[in-house]
Amino acid sequence: MEQGELINILFWVGIIAVFYFFMIRPQAKRAKDAKKFREALGKGTKVVTIGGIHGKVLEVQEKTVLIDTMTGTKLKVEKSAISPDGVSEEAIAKK
């Protein structure tokens, strides 16, 4: 194998490694954290949906969550529609 071929292979291995550590790995970590967050949802937790609706969890089912929007309106939303960014870690830890 010539030196030029070796440098070319090392270059592409380096590009793939950078792509993995800066793109794929952080995205997988965020997805894992979001799943953990949604599994930890409990009654009384204040949440924000991805649509920007603020509310308090009344009931948690397998795939859905019933929230009270503070005006007396109750909404049934998918767990995946609850934003992990809108809730503090302390609120989840209390549950």
CATH number at residue 60: 2.30.30.140
**Mean pLDDT (whole number) for 27-49:** 89
| pLDDT bucket at 2, cuts 50 / 70 / 90 | confident
Q: What is the pLDDT of residue 94?
A: 54
List for the chain the helix, strand, coil content (%; round to 5).
50, 25, 25
Q: What is the pLDDT of residue 35?
A: 86
**Mean pLDDT (whole number) for 83-94:** 61
Give the pTM.
0.64
Q: Residues 40-63: pLDDT tens digits?
A: 889 998 999 999 999 999 999 999
Question: What is the tally of structural domains in the chain?
Answer: 1
Domain that holds residue 36: 3-94
- Give the Cα separation of 89 and 95 in Å (integer): 10
